[in-house]
Structure 1
Amino acid sequence: MYIYKPFVGALLAAGLLSGPAFAENKISACELTDTGGVDDRSFNETAWHGMQRAEKELGIGAKVVESPSEVDFEPNMTSVLGGKCDVIVTVGFLWGKATEKFAKANPGQKFSIVDYAYTPQLSNVRSQTFATDEAAFLAGYLSAGMTKTGTIGVFGGMNIPPVTIFMDGYVRGIRYYNAVKKASVNVLGWDPDKKQGLFVNNFRSLDDGRTFAQNLYDEGADIILPVAGTVGLGSAALADELGPDKLKILGVDADMYLTNQKLGRVYLTSIMKRMDNTTFEVLKDAKDGKFAGGEQLGTLANGGVDIAPFHDMESQIPDDLKTELAEVRAQIVSGKLSVK
């Protein structure tokens, strides 16, 4: 499935625009989504927002190609090669091998991949990676301070590093709260030491999101972190039915209060990866002739990761807990506190 956006190159080809300014700045970019789809209200959509911003602010042509399953990856990649896109942005860990294969076969093509890094690095691939565990650590500390039952739940889409880094940081933030507050908040669904936990093995099923959240709620969890893209919308729907006084949800990737406004009241906060910002920077560098391969890491310090505003939950969070969160953030940014 193709979703096209008009871009300068097409207008030039049609003879509707002319002149050296347009010829010099003609850059086109294509996003190839992971299996969650461009409307996943999560990482595919957030990266697409960065593409749209580049289209608006930089005059870059933007096109997105959706991949319903992994079997679509190589055909979709082939469809945008051959000079059709100056920069090809692949979204998600599952794209790692395919992107590497095509990057090596097409050394003159610029690529960027979200949530994957190569060792050794590839000269024509910019990896967008994120210290998500830093923001997740804050969210874990916050959740531990807000739970009423003393039990918190977490589950993932797949047992892959871009998912488990959320879960690692989240659980370690809860553990840190327990250590400094002499508390005993329990976590269901993930053990960062054993790398074992709950996974739905997909990023699309709302039914799975509801079922896994229901099971964790039945075991006593009143706050749940689903790290599973669209799946988390099913968890949010359950929380909306129960009421946020009984079950709160944490969003991932984007500020889910804004992207899932109908159910916004259930979100305590969201653990954000700013793929929109990093994707925009990649395209800006390409337009400015500064594109280079390697790794681009988003952190708390540079704004590449963060937790979202508390929105409707603002008045429910004690001032002393907000102060503690600010102190924890400062210690992570300064390097005094490790989230590993």
Structure 2
Amino acid sequence: MRTVRGKRMAAIGVTGAVALFVAACGEAPDSANEGGDAVAKDFKACMVTDTGGVEDRSFNASAWQGMNAAVEAEPAVEVHVKESGSEADYETNLTGFINEGCDLIVAVGGLMGEALTTVAADYPDQRFAIVDAYLPDSPNVFSMEFNTAQSSFLAGYLAAGHSKTGKVATYGGLKIPPVTIFMDGFAEGVAYYNETKDADVEVLGWNPETQNGSFADSFEDSGKGKSLTENFVSQGADIIFPVAGKTGMGTPTVTQGDDALDSIWVDLDGCESAAEYCEEFLTTSEKNIPDAVSEAILAARDGGPTDGHTVGTLENGGVSLSTLREDIDPELAAEIETVKEAIISGDIEIKSEVQPVAS
């Protein structure tokens, strides 16, 4: 057990949406949050998860939180979910919800882009939305993207400044842009720390120049996440940044056994989504999926445009670092706030080529 940790210090650009972690992130119901019995339901919002399901404590869980937040904001909304066991389930789940009369169908994850493009073309009168992809040629799809290179740049700077061994590491679930954008930002943040501090902190697991690195090839295999983490630790890394959904849960199981090791979580504040490991996380590189999904549902219910494109950034609160752990040096925390403002102003330019651009 760690002897110091468990309390958190002032937040660096924390979004309010993650304060409430919906209990429904447990077993996924066939239909959720019926709301008050006296409230007539007039809008049916349905969500198709990527693999990992609503219990992944990461991007699926955060989208499900957003679905339920829409019900909290407007009890006339009802929400339903179908979980994808594999990529082969995407089209089946999407069309299944069409047949069930959903007013809006939310696809979670960039991997679903191809399947949704096909289904949206076949059903042009059906409203859809997608998280982590932009489908400009689908006029009935509302797209939500997040520039997590920005928040992950801050996470990389933090890791470099907090590391005692001079080695930090990252790995991904799959080699796809919504994953590698985190890894790019993290590596660039470490490089910026090295440049400004005349340091030589090394990043294991990802090379942003060659776009090669370590991947579990799964968002569901925590055993593989544990194995990758143990390998990085054997090479001297003391801070690990998994970008791998449920696979990433293998990392805090390793760091929990050694006070010299730490991790940084992604997507949804680890101290909310994986509270039993809160002391292991220095912070979380968050993307505010809950607010984006909730707002998309409410806008669709109000008859808003069927298409559209939003990009979450540090400036608009769509991405952020969660509250920093109590033992982070206050001087380092202040530097991170300065770096954040420099990213927003454009004084620091992040190079990742997979950053989304607002249309």
Question: If the length of structure 1 is used for normalisation, what is the TM-score?
Answer: 0.92
Conserved 8 A contact 2:47-2:106: yes
Are residue 51 (structure 1) and residue 67 (structure 2) matched?
A: yes
3-state DSSP of counterpart to 2:69: helix
Q: How does 1:1-340 map to 2 (within 5 A)?
A: 3-5=30-32, 7=34, 22=40, 26-59=42-75, 60-82=77-99, 84-118=101-135, 120-242=136-258, 245-310=259-324, 313-314=325-326, 316-340=327-351
Aligned amino acid, residue 109 of structure 2: G
Question: Which whole-Å CA distance do the structure 2 matches of 1:259 and 1:324 have between them?
Answer: 27
* Cα deviations by residue, 1:117-172 (Å, 9 ceiling, x for unpaired): 12x44211011100000000000001110000000011110100000000000000
Aligned amino acid, residue 332 of structure 2: L
Displacement of 1:83 in angstroms is 5.8
Conserved 8 A contact 2:33-2:68: no
3-state DSSP of counterpart to 1:241: coil
Displacement of 1:7 in angstroms is 4.4
Q: Runs of 4+ in structure 1 displaced over 6 angstroms?
A: none
Aligned amino acid, residue 323 of structure 2: P
Displacement of 1:6 in angstroms is 5.5
Question: Which whole-Å CA distance do the structure 2 matches of 1:238 and 1:6 have between them?
Answer: 36
Question: Which whole-Å CA distance do the structure 1 matches of 2:272 and 2:66 have between them?
Answer: 16
* Cα deviations by residue, 1:231-286 (Å, 9 ceiling, x for unpaired): 111111111122xx321011010001221111111101111011101001101111
Question: Which whole-Å CA distance do the structure 2 matches of 1:268 and 1:7 have between them?
Answer: 37
2:354 corresponds in structure 1 to none
Structure 1, unmatched stretches of 5+, are none
3-state DSSP of counterpart to 2:265: strand
Question: Which whole-Å CA distance do the structure 2 matches of 1:329 and 1:92 have between them?
Answer: 26
Conserved 8 A contact 1:282-1:291: no
3-state DSSP of counterpart to 1:81: helix
Higher RCO structure (Cα 8 Å, ≥6 apart): 2
Cα 1:322/1:107, change in 2 over 3 Å: same
Question: Which whole-Å CA distance do the structure 2 matches of 1:337 and 1:44 have between them?
Answer: 31
Displacement of 1:77 in angstroms is 1.4
Displacement of 1:208 in angstroms is 0.5
Question: Which whole-Å CA distance do the structure 2 matches of 1:72 and 1:2 have between them?
Answer: 18
Question: Which whole-Å CA distance do the structure 2 matches of 1:82 and 1:266 have between them?
Answer: 44
| Higher relative helix content | 1
Aligned pair count reads: 323
Question: Which whole-Å CA distance do the structure 1 matches of 2:329 and 2:266 have between them?
Answer: 23
